Amino acid sequence: MENNNLLVVCIINAGFVDLVMDAAREVGASGGTVIHGRGTGNKKIAKTFGVTISPNKEVVLIVIDEKIHEDVVNAIYKKAGLDAPSQGIVFTLPLERVAGLSELNNEEESSDAQK
């Protein structure tokens, strides 16, 4: 069974989830899930590059359609990337199978198929 979904993983400083979700929603992503974590960044690297690394991190997981993945990744990186206060890292993983995507997405797909 062919699957065209990807998992977007976005690791950001705590407190910037809305920034990421707003950016992702603007280009067509639906919802996401947030996990709290703790960064273990190298202190020497932080000193060399003159940045402060906040240990409190949040990981945002968003399942998206492959078609919009470049838009989503670019939008997130523009608003919440390493140069922004959120210091975000974004990457995607190919998904083998997916179940339970929102009803709204299914409605969109069925209306596209009817056209």
Partner 1 sequence: MKEVKTVKTPHSDFETKKLSLLVIIVDQGVGDLYIEQLGTLESNLQLKIVGNGTASKEIQNLLGLNEIKKDIVFAIIRQEKLDQAFEYIETRFKLSHKHKGVAFSVKVTSLIGVSVYKILSNTLELKPNGGK
The Cα 25–Cα 102 span in angstroms is 14
The Cα 102–Cα 115 span in angstroms is 21
* By the rule CB under 8 A, 68 interacts with partner 1: no
Number of residues that bind partner 1 (CB under 8 A): 27
Residue range at the interface with partner 1 (CB under 8 A); choices 41-49, 56-64, 68-76, 80-88: 56-64
Residue of the chain from 11, 14, 27, 61 that contacts partner 1 (CB under 8 A) = 61
| Contacts to partner 1 from residues 69-88, by CB under 8 A | none
* By the rule CB under 8 A, 110 interacts with partner 1: no
What is the Cα Rg of the chain in Å?
16
Q: Please state the φ and ψ torsions of residue 18, each to the nearest 5 degrees.
A: -60, -40
* By the rule CB under 8 A, 92 interacts with partner 1: no
The Cα 97–Cα 5 span in angstroms is 8
Give me the residue label for tokens 């920034």: 19
By CB under 8 A, name the binding residues for partner 1.
5, 7, 17, 21, 25, 30-36, 60-61, 63, 93-104
